[in-house]
Amino acid sequence: MILHVSAFYAALTGILCVILSVMVVRMRVARKISIGDGGDKEMSRMVRVFGNFAEYAPLVILVMAITETERALAPIYLHIFGAVFILGRIAHAVGLYRTLGINAGRTIGVVATLGVVLALSIALLRGSWSSVF
């Protein structure tokens, strides 16, 4: 079985990962910080922009792929959750890039990401329940 929907969002996630990585590398080069944040608050924030993304992306893609494999959701719902995840991660990255304070971008990103994780997880539990018990 080819996981077309999950593959699509995994590809978008990979592209977003590269973009965020390049942003970190550019700041490292500009600030001459090889590792860590060098005590630089802006570098610390940029590391967190990437780190927060990296903490959630694998989980979402994994749960999405298993949900698709189990056919626990129709493809349209996988597309909706995938799009919400990608847009939420972009909003979060932009919000955190701009400021460490609470802002709309960060809030949207957190709510979108956790909502997608929860919705996909519930769908997967429902879809696999009868096979497990």
pLDDT band at 100 (very low <50, low <70, confident <90, very high): confident
Residue 2 is predicted with a pLDDT of 86
Question: In whole angstroms, what is the distance from residue 47 CA to residue 53 CA?
Answer: 10
The answer to which of 21-25, 39-43, 92-96, 99-103 has the lowest mean pLDDT is 99-103
Residues 18-35 have pLDDT tens digits of 999 999 999 999 999 999
Distance of CA 77 to the CA centre of its chain: 17
**pLDDT score at 113:** 97
Q: Give the pLDDT mean for 59-85.
A: 97
Q: Domain 4-126, what fold? A: Four Helix Bundle (Hemerythrin (Met), subunit A) (1.20.120)
Closest C-alpha among 89, 64, 75, 80 to residue 13: 89
The ranges assigned to domains in the chain are 4-126
Does residue 4 sit in helix, strand or coil?
helix
